[in-house]
Amino acid sequence: MALTTLGSLLGPGSAQAQTKKSAAKAKPIETTIYIVRHAEKDSTSDAADPTLSALGQARALALRQTLEKRHPAALFTTDTKRTRATLEPLAGALKLEPQVYDPRRGRDLADRVLKEYAGKSVVIVGHSNTILSLIDDFGAIPPVEEIGENEYEYLFTVHSAEGMQPIVETRGYGAERKTKTKVKVKSEATAKGTMTPASPQK
């Protein structure tokens, strides 16, 4: 006896309906981007390129504890001692080599992450006057207007999926933890604008 498939029993129209139904159930591929400022810097060290203070080193360990279980596929840092040191514990735990990016070319980094790490998660460490514009480069609206000189605890999480407006969550990590805020969706009017990071890096 010849084998009879479900499609042949139900007819071609039913088979097509099943295919469409399966496609509708498929979730869009989501890329998760964790963005933080470097940890506390040592004001007694080189002013041009300071290292981390004891508090900063403790926060770097907290970053590892917070994100290690998320298994990020890549780590990105600017070319400074304080950003590299902030990633060092996490990089060691994951056995990943941090990749250096230019904070003045945030859109290039965003395009690269969304193309090369689609469906995965990455961690990006920057500066108080660059990470908000980086959130904007990923298409999300920055949830705060500015980051103060002494604010180091922000952990921003950008969720980006094809065909959907990127959203960002805000929470804290380390000794001080900011309360998680509701995600913000970028309006059409906001999406038309861009943010330009200030310099020098802080």
Q: Rounded CA gap, 51 and 105, in Å?
A: 24
pTM above 0.85, yes or no: no
Q: Mean per-residue pLDDT for 128-142?
A: 97
Most confident of 5-14, 39-48, 171-180: 39-48
The domain covering 28-191 belongs, at the CATH homologous superfamily level, to Phosphoglycerate mutase-like (3.40.50.1240)
User: What does the pLDDT average to over 68-76?
Assistant: 97
Question: Looking at per-residue confidence, does 54 or 196 come out higher?
Answer: 54
At 191, list the tokens.
Answer: 């999406």
Question: Per-residue pLDDT tens for 144-188?
Answer: 999 999 999 999 999 999 889 999 999 999 875 544 444 444 544
Residue 55 is encoded by which pair of tokens? 């508090």
Largest Cα span, the chain: 86
Confidence (pLDDT) at 10: 52
Give the number of other Cβ atoms within 10 Å of residue 152's Cβ.
22
What's residue 195's pLDDT? Answer: 42
Q: Does residue 8 register a pLDDT over 70?
A: no
Which band of pLDDT confidence, cut at 50, 70 and 90, is reported for residue 6? very low
Q: What is the pLDDT of residue 194?
A: 41
Q: Which residue has the higher pLDDT, 191 or 125?
A: 125
The residue ranges of every structural domain in the chain are: 28-191
Query: 75 has which bridge partners?
Result: 123
Close Cβ partners of 54 (under 8 Å, ≥ 6 residues apart)? none
Classify burial at 122, counting beta carbons within 10 Å of its beta carbon; exposed 0-12, middle 13-18, buried 19 or more: buried
Comparison of pLDDT for 21 and 41, the residue scoring more: 41
Specify the range with the lowest mean pLDDT, choosing from 38-47, 80-89, 101-110.
38-47
Which pLDDT value is given to residue 12?
55
CA 81 to chain centre: 21
Cα(175)–Cα(63) distance, rounded to whole angstroms? 11
For residue 65, is pLDDT > 90?
Answer: yes
Average pLDDT of the chain to the nearest whole number: 84
Q: Which residue has the higher pLDDT, 45 or 101?
A: 101
pLDDT at residue 182 in the model: 44
Identify which has the larger pLDDT, 26 or 178.
26
Query: Helix 54-67 and helix 81-94: axis angle, to 10°?
Result: 40
The beta-carbon contacts of 77-81 under 8 Å, at least 24 apart in sequence, are 77/101, 77/124, 77/125, 78/102, 78/103, 78/125, 78/126, 78/127, 78/130, 78/201, 80/38, 80/49, 80/201, 81/46, 81/49, 81/50, 81/51, 81/52
